Every structure is written in structure tokens, then in C-alpha cells.
Amino acid sequence: MTTRLDLANAIRVLAMDAVQQANSGHPGAPMGMADIAEVLFNDFMSHNPQNPHWPNRDRFVMSNGHGSMLPYAVLHLTGYDLPIEEIKNFRQLHSKTPGHPEYGYTPGIETTTGPLGQGVSNAVGMALAEKVLAAQFNKDGHKIVDHYTYVFLGDGCLMEGISHEVCSLAGTLKLGKLICFYDDNGISIDGDVVGWFADDTPKRFEAYGWHVIRDIDGHDADSLRVAIADARMERDQPTLICCKTVIGKGAPNKQGGHDVHGSPLGKDEIAAARVAMGWKSEPFVIPTEIYAGWDAKEKGAAAEQAWTEKFAAYKTAYPQAAAEFERRIQGDLPANWEENAQKAIDAIIAKAESPATRVASKNALDAFAPFLPEFLGGSADLTPSNNTFNKSSKYINSNHGPSQDFSGNYLSYGVREFGMSAIMNGIALHGGFIPYGATFLMFSEYARNALRMASLMKIRNIFVYTHDSIGLGEDGPTHQGVEQTATLRMIPRMSVWRPCDGVETAMAWKAAIEKKTGPTSLILTRQNLPFQTRSAEKVASIAKGGYVLKDCEGTPDAIIIATGSEVALAMGAAEQLSGKKIRVVSIPCVDVFLAQEAAYREAVLPTAVTARVAVEAGVTAGWYQLVGLQGKVVGLDTFGESAPAPVLFKHFGFTVENVKAAVESLL
């Protein structure tokens, strides 16, 4: 008779065999948490291996992502499209089993984890998305959004500061369908954690407003089952189940120590483990009865079918809402998106206003949001400064009203830039929303790893960064973004838009909304910027990331390239260089421009014209790819100062006269 321990041991042997074959990896966590995974997946997880994208599935996140062989083993055993050949190919090039779980590589992997703390942060976003989507779509007698988010995490995740940010917010928001399993094994790579991690973790989470279940034996199936059932009954608080485990459980000579954390067990220890576990099969061979005990295909198909029938009834009763739900889950934009977006942009052009681009951003949101109900916005405690609360926004935070109404679309994240960004990633991964979140450009530094993860996962996420340069003014160099725009441009797949006026700002928002293959950063000013007059053709060309804003007759003598607030300086310098043929090129998005066909790029920046000056209130290095070594960059390779913005721009040479002089020096 197959026992629960036999089923859990299947995870252990696959983990130790795969790590050994790869000669690389982390067997300790998968072996230590195998019993927890067995109870969770066989008794509670609602999922369908034959359809990893079923909307109402429970989400599972391995936040301690170095333990990747645990989810890989479970996915293989339960029947996902992850054959044993892929387990054998663990950590090898182009396999479906990379060293850390990667979204998009492996069926059933919900997010990319590895940087500790990111997984649980994404999971908070998933749980939040579930709660908001349920509030927006569920009706009396029709519960079409109703699932849990389960997280495995370890000491390392809890040491990372981001865990404090997101778990505090999860408690405040009462995300009762978020259930986390703390792998309390007392071991990290350096050894016994007591020397550097002595927190009273249960008290910490109780202080956050979590339901805490203490001192569960992580190897006792009955205790685990009772704890999970208890957690599922608690709907007003997220739950932390504190599981005492033995790292590397099953390895008789190495379990319980740091040697099993991040190294193969070795052939002798694996042989001893097989004997200790009573496991007689060869490496990568799972007995038929073990597969049968894990197989979730039939159960999963039945669960999805039951939901499909529920959704069919919902569709009959609420056809419009059902169609909207399906559209949003697919990530498609409304059928009338293009038409409405163009009307909004035309209206902005007609007004010809000259606001700060942070205000222009709000104007764009005011125009776009009414026909984008999937927007889920927020700010890291800077809403009045970031201008991200628009005419269609409605708070979902409990502190903005007497009750917890989650049917809204705007969240105050508090001073949690990193947590906000990672939560947004989780929202995007869950589906049903286009998240956007804002802070000052400088504080993108706090969020950097989450931005990178959004790009790595190729997910649609919109990061709004205002107060973009020394134009911030009196708050001084601690708050003035100098190098941030340039470094954001260096993140693969991150589109970085720095618009020069309201029209470019609206076009930037449109591009960000339409981009499904990665995130976007919008870089916006505090100070007002003049409206630039353009033809309809030039407006359309903004979408190409760069275009000729002001041209001359024939071949230019010189080209001035600029972004954001410095476009006005470029236009002013061109006017003063009246005796010369000057072209002004606005490049609000460098990566989009560089992705255009060579013929278009050549038409905008002719190779023959080597007299080129780029102007941007930030570091200069990145611009030499466009101006060449013969060109010049009017930029800022130092930090700013504390003073009013007009004083700073003059002090650091961001004047029409200086741009003009730079051009003249090349002629």
C-alpha cells in the first residue's frame, strides 16, 4: 500500500537525483518541504495539470526559489507537461527546468522566483488581484472568482526587507486567501541562522495582522492537514503556518546541516538515502503506484468542469459581465480601444496645454481610464505628487473608507516602493488587470529588482516615475534623478518613455497599455513643459519612439536630439541657429526607436550627418550610441544641488545658449 510518506519521498528522490546529475542545485529545501507539498497538492490544491491557465485555479509560489526541484517534481508527478526527460535535464540550456523557477518556461510555474522575498511579494499581488477581481465580478449566487494563493518560503525570504513591506500590507488589506508555509529549518548556506536571524517570526506576523499557526511538524501529514484546513477557514487574515522541518530530510548523514542546502548530496549519500527511505527504484524511475497516487489530471479536469458550468450559468445571467471577464483574463484591450484612444489624444492636441508631464499623465489617465476597467493603479504614498489618482479611480484600501470595499481600482501602497513594484508583478501575473504604480524617479532605486523581474518575465506592468531630474529642485540631490533614466534603459525589454509634452505623454501611456511583452517606465517632470505643435503624421510617428519634430530644407548641418524637458531647449537652440540647417529629433523612447527598421532610423538620423548634439538632464554615457564619438552630449555627470529648478538648470548648463554653443562647436 502506497503511503503519504512514499508519495513525499518521490519528491525527495527526484530532487536529489536531478541535483546530482546536474552537479548543481539545492536539494535541502525540496527534501525538507516534501511532506508539506504532498499534503497541500493532494488534499487541497485546486488545479488542472491539463490546463495550467484555468482562471480559477489556486496559485502556488515557491518563494524560496532555489528549491526549484520541489515544484518541478510536483508538476511532473501530478501530470503537467513536464516529462521525466526535463527533470533529467535540470539546470541545462533551454530545458523546462531552469535552476530557479521561471515564468513562461515551465507549465504550472506562476512566477519567476530566486531573488529571495520576490515570490511572496508576487503572491501578495496575486491574492490582492483575486480579492479585487472577485469584488468586481462575483454576484449573488455566482462566485466565479474564488481561489487561494499558497506560498512556500524560508528564512531567507523573511530576512529580506521586501517581505516586511508586503506582509505588513497583506495584513492591513486582510488578504484572507493568502496562505504561507514558513520552512523553519534553522539553516542557511552559512550554517545555523540563529547567529543572524533570531526574530520571533510568529509574533512579527501577528503584529502585521496575520493568522499565525505555530509549531507545526512539517513532516506530520495529519498536523499539516489540520493546519491548512484551519487556514482556509480564516477569511479576514492571511495565514502563516510555521512548519518545523529538517533540511534535507531523508539523507541520513547530511540532513539537518548546511551541507545539503546548496550542493549535491553525492552518490554515497544518495545511496544511503534510498536505503533509509526504502526506495528501491533507480534514479529518475518512479513506480506506477506512486504516479497513480499523485495523478491530478482527472480531479483537476473535474474541478475545472465544475467551474465551467458555474461560469456558463453566470454567462446566462450576466452576459455582459461574463464577456468582460473573459476579455480581461485574456489580456485583450477593449474592441473600441484604438478609436477611443485616438479621440482622447486628439482632444489633448486640441487643448494645446503646457502642463508638467506628471499633470499631462493624469490628463491621459482621465481620458483612457473610463474605457479601461482593468486598470489597477496606485502610488507609494505620493499620490498627490505623482498625479496617478484619476477621475475614474476608486480607493480599495480600508483606510480610505469605513468598510473594506475591494471593488475599486486604486491602492495606496504606503512607503513601499519595492513592495509595490513586486506586488504589481503579481497582479499582472494573476491576470485580469493592467497594473500601474508610481513614485519619484529616484526611488526606482529601491524597486530595482522588481523592475528587472518584470522585464525577465515579459509581463505588462507600468511604472510611473515623476520628478525626473534636477527639475525636482529644492529637495536636492538625494531626490534628484540623474542616473536613473539611463540605468532603466539598460534593463532588457524595459521600455522607457520620457515625453516632452502632453501629446507625447498620452502616446507614451498608449504604448505602455498596448505592450504585452514587457514593462514600461514613464519618466515625468515636475515642471511645466511647452506644447509642441505637430502634424498628424508627426503625432503618429511618436509611437516609433523617435521622430523629426523640427526639420530644415535639404540635408541638415546638425541634428539636435533631446527628450523630456530638454526638447524645448533643443527647439530654442534651433531657432537661434537661424543661419544653419538644424533638425530637432525628439526621442521619447530610445529602445522603441532603436527597434525600428533601419530605413526609418536612417531617415530620422542620417548617417552622413555627424554633427549631432544630444540633450538630457541626466548622465551622458548612453547617448553616444546616437551621437557617435564625434558628437556631443549636454548632460549631467554629477549629482545635483538643492535650489529652485530654474537656478539649477542654468547652473548645470541646461540653457538654450549652451545647447547652441555645443552645436556651433561641431560646425
What pLDDT, in 10s, does the model give residues 332-350? Answer: 999 999 999 999 999 999 9
For the stretch 111-137, pLDDT in tens is 999 999 999 999 999 999 999 999 999
Residue entry with cell 530644407? 553
For the stretch 512-525, pLDDT in tens is 999 999 999 999 99
Please state, in angstroms and rounded to a whole number, the distance separating the CA atoms of residues 386 and 610.
39
**pLDDT-above-90 percentage for the chain:** 98
Residue 471: count of CB within 10 angstroms of its CB: 23
Residue 451 three-state SS: helix
Element (H, E) at 437: strand 434-440
Question: Does the pLDDT of residue 569 top 80, yes or no?
Answer: yes
Q: What is the mean pLDDT of residues 532-561?
A: 98
Residue 464 to residues 290, 342, 499, Cα–Cα distance (Å): 50, 22, 12
Residues 497/464, Cβ–Cβ less than 8 Å: no
* φ and ψ of 548, to 5 deg: -80, 110
pLDDT at 455: 98
Residue 369: count of CB within 10 angstroms of its CB: 18
Residues 65/114, Cβ–Cβ less than 8 Å: yes
* φ and ψ of 100, to 5 deg: -125, 150
Residue 360 to residues 205, 284, 365, Cα–Cα distance (Å): 41, 59, 9
DSSP category for residue 552: -
For the stretch 450-501, pLDDT in tens is 999 999 999 999 999 999 999 999 999 999 999 999 999 999 999 999 999 9
pLDDT at 398: 54
Please state, in angstroms and rounded to a whole number, the distance separating the CA atoms of residues 170 and 173.
5
Question: Does the pLDDT of residue 408 top 90, yes or no?
Answer: yes
Please state, in angstroms and rounded to a whole number, the distance separating the CA atoms of residues 308 and 175.
25
β-strands 582-586, 547-550 pairing: antiparallel
CA 67 to chain centre: 21
pLDDT at 402: 52
pLDDT at 504: 98
Element (H, E) at 551: none
If pLDDT is split at 50, 70 and 90, which confidence band does 89 have? very high
Residue 547: count of CB within 10 angstroms of its CB: 23
If pLDDT is split at 50, 70 and 90, which confidence band does 399 have? low
Average pLDDT score over the chain: 97
Buried b (16+ CB within 10 A) or exposed e, 549-585: bbebeeebbbbbbbbbbbbbbbbbbbeebeebbbbbb
Please state, in angstroms and rounded to a whole number, the distance separating the CA atoms of residues 468 and 526.
7
Report the candidate in 297, 296, 309 with the shortest Cα–Cα distance to residue 56.
309
Residues 109/97, Cβ–Cβ less than 8 Å: no
Q: What is the mean pLDDT of residues 145-159?
A: 98
Residue 384: count of CB within 10 angstroms of its CB: 9
Residues 183/154, Cβ–Cβ less than 8 Å: yes
pLDDT at 404: 73
Residues identified as active-site: 417
pLDDT at 56: 98
Question: Does the pLDDT of residue 400 top 60, yes or no?
Answer: no
CA angle, 529 as apex, 496 and 540 as ends, to 5°? 55
If pLDDT is split at 50, 70 and 90, which confidence band does 1 have? confident
Widest Cα–Cα separation across the chain: 93
Residue entry with cell 517606465? 521
Please state, in angstroms and rounded to a whole number, the distance separating the CA atoms of residues 87 and 73.
8
Residue 44 three-state SS: coil
Question: Does the pLDDT of residue 33 top 60, yes or no?
Answer: yes
* φ and ψ of 396, to 5 deg: -110, -10
Report the candidate in 508, 499, 598, 587 with the shortest Cα–Cα distance to residue 547.
587
Question: Does the pLDDT of residue 395 top 80, yes or no?
Answer: yes
Question: Does the pLDDT of residue 212 top 70, yes or no?
Answer: yes
Buried b (16+ CB within 10 A) or exposed e, 241-264: bbbbbbbbbbbebbbbbbbbbbbb
